[in-house]
Amino acid sequence: MASHPSGEYGNVVDAREIDGEPFTQITAALDALDAGETMLLVNSFEPAPLYGVLSDRGLSFDASRVDEDEWHVEITRE
């Protein structure tokens, strides 16, 4: 399992640790981002359905697969 360097991000949300549907906690973290701030979303699969939400909110993102069952999505409020 890859580790995530939390010191580089304003917030880290590990969806793998959330019981139930993580969308509410993810969107709350997105809403808390200040201009120029980046959060890291860690997920067990590529969260493709989230990409439209990010674009609609004017957020930029970069997704990468870091392990067989681990994806990191860096999300930035410009």
For the residues of the chain, what is the DSSP string, one character each?
-----GGGSSEEEEGGGSSS--HHHHHHHHHTPPTT-EEEEEESS--HHHHHHHHHTTEEEEEEEEETTEEEEEEEE-
Q: Is residue 1 part of a domain?
A: no
The mean predicted confidence, pLDDT, of the chain is 91
Tell me what the mean pLDDT of segment 17-40 comes to: 94
Is the overall model pTM greater than 0.85, yes or no? yes
Averaged pLDDT, 30-54: 95
Q: Does 2 map to a domain?
A: no
- The total of structural domains in the chain comes to 1
Give the domain range for residue 13: 7-77
